[in-house]
Amino acid sequence: MPDYVLAGLNEAARKDLEGLMSVDTYEWQSDFARKYVGLGREEGREEGREEGVAQSVIAVLVARRFSVSDEVRERIESCSDLAVLESWVSRAVDVQSPEQLFD
């Protein structure tokens, strides 16, 4: 429904309405919208946590003066299991090579 409304507005009116309905300022009225906006926010937070922990794994390896290959970096950055990533942070402190992280 909102797409139909937006399609019928001129550019100035559309920009005004989009500004009013910004996710940061607009208070969603329907349970449906609140549910899915909330789910999207939580998914974004989870992805951010995963990315942050993945970068921590790489940072520990680099701080230990390891050369992190593209393959190792890709495997770390593509992991979406937060528990695995957190275990890799601990392992990164003790491994003798970045590849041993995955053993």
Q: How far is CA 73 from the centre of its chain?
A: 17
Instruction: Please write the tens of the pLDDT for every residue from 31-84.
Output: 766 666 666 666 666 676 888 889 999 999 999 999 999 999 999 999 989 899
- Identify the CA nearest to 61 among candidates 91, 39, 36, 28: 91
The three-state secondary structure class of 32 is helix
Instruction: Please state whether the predicted TM-score (pTM) of the whole model is above 0.75.
Output: no
Domain ranges of the chain: 47-103
Q: Cα–Cα distance between 102 and 92 in angstroms, integer?
A: 10
Q: CB-based contacts of 3: which residues, under 8 Å, 6+ apart?
A: none
**Main-chain phi, psi angles of 89, to 5 degrees:** -60, -50
